[in-house]
Amino acid sequence: MSLLIHLAKVPDFRQPGRNFRHPLLSVLVISVLAVLCGADDFEDIADFGQQKQVLLARHLALPHGAPSADTFRRIFQHLDAAAFNAAFLSWVRHLLPAPVAAQVCVDGQTLRGSGPQALHVVSALARAEGLCLAQVATKGKGQELAAIPDVLALLDLSGGPLVSLDALGCQPAIAAQIVQQGGHYLLALKQNQPTLSAEAERALAGVRPQAEATGWASHNTPLRWQVAVQTDLRWVNEDERWPQLAALVRVDTWRYPAVGPPQVQAPRYYLSSQPGLMAEQALAAVRGHWAVENQLHWHLDVTLRQDAHRLRDERAAENLALVRKMALNLLRADAAPGSLKVKRKRLGWSDTYLEALMAQIAKCV
């Protein structure tokens, strides 16, 4: 089943029976392709349609040529965001051969170009596959906590993945939802849960590190991590509030700057329902949670220049954010060699490469 078939399910909000100049499916597909090829805003998308009109007409219905920037803007302002998101979800599930079984990272990102009360989008990323699984938009970062259950509800957790969230998502109700849907949780633990935080600190005080790793911070600063896992929870009184709580985790971090002594950071604590959680697994998952920043948010901001587009209409901003995630998933699903940046440039430069991707979209993606 193709991306085109999924997008064709999005209902046209325009009045039935009217003789529309531009079919909705063509508008949506051109938008995705334009963003793939470097478009940042509706003017860029319209210009892409004009420049590639002959190629596009071989695959899409363009009875009146390519749409104008105003047409793209108007359609994205009124497009049913929930239906568009549903089409995205069904397409992503088709991309994955089976339910995600490794790690799902959930985190929020503010769209800085979306006005004074900037739109905040909570997304879920399949870490191993590098694919965005779902998004829910909210009005401002203050609403992120309320959006997390909505994002989780969109996910298929039947494969038993480890779902990681930062401290904002460390709530008993969220942990219960993850377990009920078939997943396991890894939640960062801070002072928003003061009792359990203190109990975790005591429970792990005498536990020696069981795994270690090294890496790099910004400016090539060496880092070292050590992790300890405590599965004996007999002295933890808070465990009844956290469904299937199986382990507490402590991560110690050292920075080694070029000048001066090593810098010891404050220990970070986590709780998890993963049965038999090993220290190596815990450390990999803690570090892997930042994939949502490195594999998703960074590429949306830098590769796809999300914040460069000043868009004040909230629905249009939400819908265009989803187009960027479609584009990012397509770039990751493309087996051709090269970085995402290189692939994007190649699509803009080579009609042969672009047409091959269009055929792939229509046939098997």
SS3 42: helix
* pLDDT greater at residue 208 or residue 16: 208
Sign of CA dihedral 270, 273, 274, 276: positive
pLDDT of residue 165: 97
> What percentage of the chain has pLDDT greater than the value 90?
61
Mean local confidence (pLDDT), 299-316:
65
Q: Is the pLDDT of residue 309 over 60?
A: no
Q: Can you give the pLDDT at residue 116?
A: 54
Q: Are 287 and 213 in contact (CB under 8 A)?
A: yes
Name 100's Cβ contacts closer than 8 Å, sequence gap at least 6. 126, 128, 129, 133, 155, 156, 157, 159, 161
Query: Would you list the domain boundaries of the chain?
Result: 3-85+312-363
- 145-162 burial by CB neighbour count: b if 16+ within 10 A, else e? bebbbebbebbbbeeebb
pLDDT tens column, 218-230: 778 899 999 999 9
Structure confidence by residue, pLDDT tens digits, 119-140: 888 989 999 888 889 989 887 6
